[in-house]
């Protein structure tokens, strides 16, 4: 049975605003790699019109989302399953790849039914970008 979850990061940390909103779907029976939906940034076309293209940084956001999902699955010590990142909402000026990784990490934990209060907070988050 699949589970869906969303996490919205809105935080000022060290005087810098951080924003990312991520929706994920967890399929515990799937053995495929974690992935980001081709339509994860479809909202850009809704907002800017049908000719809108993804920003250059969107590819970095996709990589970061997969890393966040992987970390959550490792910490939850699951025996398989895959995460599909359905949507990634971002603002170029306020969203780093690390913010997307963190939001995906937290959304994945919620989908797993893990207590997010036990999870890392942004202040403790370390992501190398690899």
The answer to whether position 26 is within a domain reads: yes
The answer to whether position 60 is within a domain reads: yes
pLDDT tens track for 112-122:
988 666 666 65
Question: Which residues of the chain register pLDDT less than 50?
Answer: 130
Domain extent, residue 110, equals 3-117
The answer to whether position 24 is within a domain reads: yes
CATH of the domain at 38: 3.30.230.10
Identify the H or E element spanning 104.
helix 97-112
pLDDT of residue 90: 97
Q: What is the pTM of this model?
A: 0.88
Helices (H) and strands (E) in the chain, counts: 3, 4
Q: In whole angstroms, how far apart are CA 62 and each of 35, 102, 113, 116? A: 8, 12, 23, 22
pLDDT of residue 34: 86
Q: What are phi and psi of 26, to 5 degrees?
A: -100, 130
Number of domains making up the chain: 1
The answer to whether position 63 is within a domain reads: yes
Mark out the alpha helices in 17-57 (DSSP H runs): 43-48
């Amino acid at each position: 049975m699949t589970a869906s979850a969303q996490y919205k990061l809105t935080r000022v940390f060290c005087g810098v605003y951080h924003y990312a909103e991520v929706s994920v779907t967890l399929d515990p029976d799937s053995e495929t790699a974690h992935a980001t939906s081709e339509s994860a940034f479809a909202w850009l076309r809704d907002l800017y019109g049908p000719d809108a293209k993804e920003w250059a940084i969107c590819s970095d956001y996709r990589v970061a989302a997969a890393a966040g999902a992987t970390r959550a699955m490792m910490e939850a010590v699951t025996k398989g399953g895959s995460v599909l990142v359905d949507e990634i909402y971002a603002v170029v000026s306020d969203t780093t790849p690390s913010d997307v990784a963190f939001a995906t990490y937290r959304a994945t934990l919620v989908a797993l039914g893990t207590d997010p209060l036990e999870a890392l907070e942004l202040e403790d988050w370390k992501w190398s970008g690899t």
